[in-house]
Structure 1
């Protein structure tokens, strides 16, 4: 399916352009040694990271829908992970989470072909970001990875007060971009927040599916790599 008539492409940031799991894993590998996690009976950094990723995904889904706050998410993703290993979170140094929040957004691992694909698309389309990430962290990521030059507008849910999939953030982003729903397409990794959120306001959407998960029947188009967008647009 070619996207005739489109003028504006909206991207998600985390898990779509910025490789959250790779950057988080790098950060936690470093901190695992710094804070001697093994002294708490946690066998390996890999096991900790896998458990953290599972909890983080679950909690972000709740955050998308306003079920928990930013502060609750930040506390629970590590607290719940430590509890799974039988470690009372209150015994773990508070500086650990501060270090994680400082170091992780500075990591610069992007999904393959991110820069070349964005540069290619920018020649013919106006590009934008809509992120459910936190404002301070998102700004750091975009700056550290030299991504700002591609995007005409950047909408952060924490700043505007609505999270994807809420219709208001899509309408806000489209208005902020001075374009229309019809002329726009959303690209993201979250079926709930990005794809169905966009489809629910009448916007075309492309599911970024790097892990080759099963694609539900209501999702009209999916890609496994960013590079595929060069053929679609």
Structure 2
């Protein structure tokens, strides 16, 4: 009851960062990718995949330093509490 949809990728199936994973979960949740966010702690799978799908991205760093190379998230926070603060302030993207 807390989530509109849950998508678990099996080992033989499509996995992040493939953009179709993000499209599939958006369809299952009854929406689209427009005005959506990807929040995660993996620069490659979460942030790179979210960017490939056209999402606004928020990286939870857990104190790690953002490298100069690779995916560059729209927002960086150190923990999930800070992520919620940004999401509540920003709301859906435009």
Q: Into which bin does the TM-score normalised by the smaller protein fall?
A: 0.7 to 0.9
After TM superposition, give the deviation of residue 159 of structure 1 in Å.
Answer: 7.8
CA distance in 1, matches of 2:24, 2:4: 14
Pair member with larger Rg? 1
Structure 1 residues 160 and 181, CA gap change in structure 2 (3 angstroms): farther
What TM-score do you get using the length of structure 2 for normalisation?
0.78
1:227 alignment partner in structure 2: 81
Name the SS of the counterpart of 1:162 in structure 2. Answer: coil
Deviation digits for residues 102-136 of structure 1 (CA, Å, limit 9, x no counterpart): xxxxxxxxxxxxxxxxxxxxxxxxxxxxxxxxxxx
1:209 Cα deviation (Å)?
0.5
Pairs aligned (count): 85
Contact 1:215 1:222 in 2 (8 A): no
TM-score w.r.t. length of structure 1: 0.34
- Deviation, 1:160, is 8.7
Task: Please list every run of 5 or more consecutive structure 1 residues that lacks an aligned counterpart in the other structure.
Answer: 1-148
1:222, CA displacement in angstroms? 0.9
CA distance in 2, matches of 1:163, 1:186: 15
Contact 1:160–1:169 (8 Å) recurs in 2: no
Gaps of 5+ in 2: 89-94
Note the C-alpha offset of 1:150: 2.4
SS at match of 2:10: helix
Question: Could you list the per-position Cα deviations for residues 40-64 of structure 1 after superposition, in whole angstroms to 9, with x for gaps in the alignment?
Answer: xxxxxxxxxxxxxxxxxxxxxxxxx
User: How big is the shift at 1:225?
Assistant: 1.1
